[in-house]
A and B are shown apart, each in its own frame.
Chain A
Amino acid sequence: MENEAFWGSNWLSAIAKPPPAMSFASDDHLPPCALNLNWKQLLRHDVDLESELSSLVSSPSCHPAASADGGVVGGVIGRLGTICNSGEISVGSRLHSASSSCYSTPLNSPPKRNLSVPDYLVQGRRGFPGSVNPSPGGHFMPLPTDPWLAEDAARLSRGGGMSSSGFPGKLGLPETPGKLSRASSSKSLTGSRMVVPENGNEPWVLGAALMEMEMRSRVGGSLTPEQSEPGNGREESSIEEASSLRGTSDSNARKRKASAGKGKGKEGPLPYSATHPPNMTNENSVAKRCKTSETNAMMKTEQDGDIGRKPRKDDNKLLEPPKDYIHVRARRGQATDAHSLAERVRREKIGKRMKFLQDLVPGCNKVTGKAVMLDEIINYVQSLQRQVEFLSMKLSTLSPQLHNMENLFPKEMYQGQGTMPQPVYPAEMASAAYPYSHQPQASPPLQSIVTSGLESQLAPLYGLSDAPSQVGDFWEDDLQSVAQIGFRQH
Chain B
Amino acid sequence: MVALRFLRALSLVRCSGPGARSPSYRARGIRRAAYACMAASAGPRRAWSRALLRKIRRRPGRGLRRPRAVIRRRRPVGGGDPLEVALRRLVPGGGCMEYCRLLEEAADYVKCLAMQVRLMQTIVDSASHVNSID
Contact = CB atoms under 8 A, between A and B. Distances in A.
Contact of A467 (B4, B44, B111): B44
Nearest to A466: B45
A128 B37 CA distance: 66
Contacts of B33: 482-483, 486
Given A391-B124, A453-B2, A461 B43 contact: yes
Interface in A463-490: 463-464, 467, 471, 474-476, 478-479, 481-490
Given A378-B90, A463-B43, A464-B45, A393 B27 contact: yes
Interface residues of B, number: 84
* Interface of chain A, main secondary structure: helix
A273 to B, nearest CB: 33
Contacts of A482: 9, 32-33, 36, 40, 53, 56-57
Interface string A367-397: 0000100110110111011011101111111
Contacts of A389: 27, 31
Contacts, number: 259
B86 to A, nearest CB: 5
Interface residues of A, number: 78
Contact of B44 (A349, A425, A474): A474
Contacts of A442: 126, 130
Contact of A445 (B114, B120, B122): B122
B29 A457 contact: no
Contacts of B26: 396, 399, 490
A403 B103 CA distance: 38
Contact of B18 (A399, A452, A471): A399
Interface string A392-433: 111111111111011100100110010010000100100000
A425 B118 CA distance: 20
Nearest to B102: A353
B110 A377 contact: yes
A479 B124 contact: no
Given A400-B18, A471-B44, A482-B40, A388 B91 contact: no
A350 B4 CA distance: 35
B16 A490 contact: yes
A402 B103 contact: no
Interface in B1-34: 1-18, 21, 23-34
Interface string B72-110: 000000000101101100110000000110011011111
Contacts of A406: 7, 10-11, 14
Contacts of A307: none
23 contacts: A346-B100, A350-B99, A360-B110, A374-B81, A388-B120, A391-B117, A392-B31, A395-B127, A396-B26, A400-B18, A446-B126, A453-B3, A453-B4, A453-B6, A454-B4, A464-B45, A467-B45, A478-B53, A479-B5, A482-B33, A483-B8, A485-B56, A485-B61
Q: Identify the 7 closest CB pairs spanning chains A and B, nearest first.
A: A453-B3, A445-B126, A490-B29, A353-B103, A396-B26, A483-B9, A482-B36
